[in-house]
Amino acid sequence: MCKNRKILTLWVFVALIAMTGWFGCAAKTRIYGIRPAEVSMGGIRTLAVLKFDGRYGEAVRSGFYNKLGEIQHFNLIDTSSINVLDKVIYDQVDDPRFLPILDSLQADGVITGRVTANINDISGADYVRMQEGIGQYKKEKNIFGKWVDVEIKKTVLKPVSHVIRQASLTTDFKVFDLRTKRIIATGKITKNYNEKFGGDREYALFGRKMSQLPAKNQTLNELSDKVAEQLVAKISPTEISKNVTFDDGSKYGVGIGGHKLVKRGIEFAKCGAWEEAMEIWQDVIKTEPYSSSAHYNLGVAYESFGGLKNLEIARNMYKKAAKYGDSKLYIEAIARAQTAIKDYRKYEKQKKLLKQTPVKKSEEGGELRIY
């Protein structure tokens, strides 16, 4: 009886492994795009990044400056070594007394900020269930079939210390247009941190242990980096990426059945051979005009190429897929393409404004350094 049960358990285990390999995971690809700036910067092309007030102001400013330089949307002016600009604080960036200093930068505009931060550790304890020996033993067979003494244990509740770290970092920012002498953009970005270390997490599989509690400065520096990244997205176009799922034509989208040629095209696409993949899917459509999966995957291909024209073709392909087949995947793809088209048009307008603004010249006649 026991032997038969062991054999049955083994067969169930083998079957589960086979089913996992059979079903597999839906094939995906990574698609890149451009998200336009969240706030309008007008025609500011040359931007000076001024001092950010607050204890963590420099952490946010330097992170923001470096990330903005990677985008290469603006011509940036390095102000870190200009000591006189330390007098220009967040609340007085538009003070007429500082205009001569700011005008000497030969920039279209300047950005500055004020950073406030707080952090608090709350200590406590959780009562956690544990197994504790009682000093008595019993005979049991080990994995090798030998009799050994095993201590009898009981379940007890024991206090385990924990720390809940709560922190927040806020950056208020202003963009001052030196051409119009007006503040054209303001905003506030806040990032929060709330994590528990130890206690009932101490012995959990994916819990944070007390030994993993970072230094307070490390937590606030992490928040500074996140704020800097979001601040870049506020005033500058940024590259974004998303995972997009292919449709292999299977009934339940988990590898059961599916269209042989459509799957073959997906294999090419996963290797980056988009042209070969598209040829296969187009051949499928010639013989099966109502193939929703072939239309959908063609849409994914065009979306991966980017550009307004390709995004519009992708949207049309997704609409045809939704017309010929009923899938949540198609509806989500249509919405995603529509958002990408809207973002691209806004991004093109932002680029056009920059092109209409001439590059500032220094007093010596040369172009400003780009960092």
Summarised one tens digit per residue, pLDDT across range 205-215 is 888 999 999 99
Which H or E run includes 134? strand 109-141
The token pair at 291 is 């193939």
Q: Which domains does the chain have, with CATH numbers?
A: 35-116+169-192+204-237 (3.30.160), 246-351 (1.25.40.10)
The token pair at 78 is 């390095």
pLDDT at 1: 41
Phi, psi for residue 146 in degrees, rounded to 5 = -100, 145
Q: Give me the amino acid identity at 370.
A: I
Distance CA(65)–CA(68), nearest Å, equals 5
Q: Give me the amino acid identity at 6.
A: K
**Opening angle at CA 11, ends 7 and 15, nearest 5:** 170
The token pair at 272 is 């980056």
pLDDT at 31: 94
pLDDT at 257: 59
CA atoms in the 13 A half-sphere facing the CB of 51: 18
Distance CA(216)–CA(252), nearest Å, equals 48
pLDDT at 6: 43
pLDDT at 204: 85
Parallel/antiparallel/unpaired status of strands 182-198 and 109-141? unpaired
> For residue 259, how many other CB atoms are within 10 A of its CB?
19
284-294 per-position pLDDT tens digit: 999 999 999 99
Q: Which residues of the chain have pLDDT under 50?
A: 1-23, 252-255, 362-371
Distance CA(288)–CA(15), nearest Å, equals 35
pLDDT at 251: 65
For 303, counting Cβ atoms within 10 Å of its Cβ (0-12 exposed, 13-18 middle, 19+ buried), the class is buried
> How far separated are the first and last CA of the chain, in Å rounded?
76
